[in-house]
Amino acid sequence: MKYDFGELLTAMVTPMQSGGHLNLDKTVELANYLLKNGTDSLLILGTTGETPTLSHNEKLLLMEVLVDELKGKTKIVAGTGSYNTKETIAFSREAREIGVDGIMVVVPYYNKPPQRALYEHFRIIAEDIKLPIIIYNVPGRTATNLENDTILKLAKIDNIVAIKEASGDMGRISDLAAKKPANFEIYSGDDNLTLPILSVGGKGVVSVAAHLVGKEIKEMIQSYKKGNVKQAAQINNKLSSIFQGIFIDTNPIPIKAALNMIGFDVGTTRLPLLNLESENQLKINSILKEHHLI
């Protein structure tokens, strides 16, 4: 299966109202804003979307609203993975029925399955769901790293089309890029590693920073792919303070604070996440001023 989600996917925050309820109007507004500012496809129900704190019904509602509003305008990828294979399949079926264009399935976290079990987890999900699947490898959160041999076996499965790589191990990612089939794409899972991953053959990025500088990230990617490496490096260097600043605290605390500062009211985070501390608010504010965002 050759399926193109584009070069820049934005991992969307989930806007909240003052009482902590979903702000669906603002969610649609934010999605449209992102699409006008460089985003090719939307990733919803990821870590940045505070998915661990959303109820099952809230997740379904978010998918329904965005698919209804944006179907045909963009591709929508929903994070449906968990450490429970059976529940991942059940939730992915619901997402498929709602009409998402693809799913992202994280490496099972907490219980640390061996590599042979990880292969079976993804294989069985892919066999049942049939939608295009992006694997999400983020060992810093899951405590398990999906090894290249396992990824390459999974890449042979028709509808496993890409991986979001957030291991930070450029040597391993470079080796994967050299050995992967042509129809299997690598996306950076870290904004600050987008350019290095492009340099070894990556497709693009699943970005948090695109909430603020989507056009610039898209320009960087396209400059590199057109052979203007110097310009791409200059853009990357210019954006480095943004890339670092939005992870000054646990994601998505800083990016929500930044969006609120630039006048895009996405509300606060839900417990167990708290608002950004005043010292870090000043740092984010300074970075936004540096980039003329406020």
Catalytic, 3? Answer no
Alpha carbon separation from 122 to 103, 276, 282 (Å, rounded): 12, 36, 43
The two three-digit tokens of residue 36, written as one number: 């006008």
Alpha-carbon span 81 to 132, nearest angstrom: 14
Compute the residue count for the chain: 294
Category of 292 on φ-ψ map: left (φ > 0), alpha (ψ -120 to 50) or beta? left
Catalytic residue among 26, 164, 180, 256: 164
Catalytic, 136? Answer yes
Alpha-carbon span 179 to 181, nearest angstrom: 7
Judge contact between 259 and 13, C-beta under 8 A. yes
Cis peptide bond N-terminal to 139, omega within 30: no
Alpha-carbon span 187 to 35, nearest angstrom: 18
The two three-digit tokens of residue 6, written as one number: 């584009």
Task: Give buried/exposed letters for 10-33 (b at 16+ CB in 10 A, else e).
Answer: bbbbbbbeeeeebbbebbbbbbee
Catalytic residue among 119, 136, 187, 224: 136
Q: Is 16 helix (H, G, I), strand (E, B) or coil?
A: strand
CA angle, residues 216, 221, 222, in degrees to nearest 5: 95
- The single residue listed with the structure tokens 């429970």 is 84
Q: Which residues are catalytic?
A: 136, 164
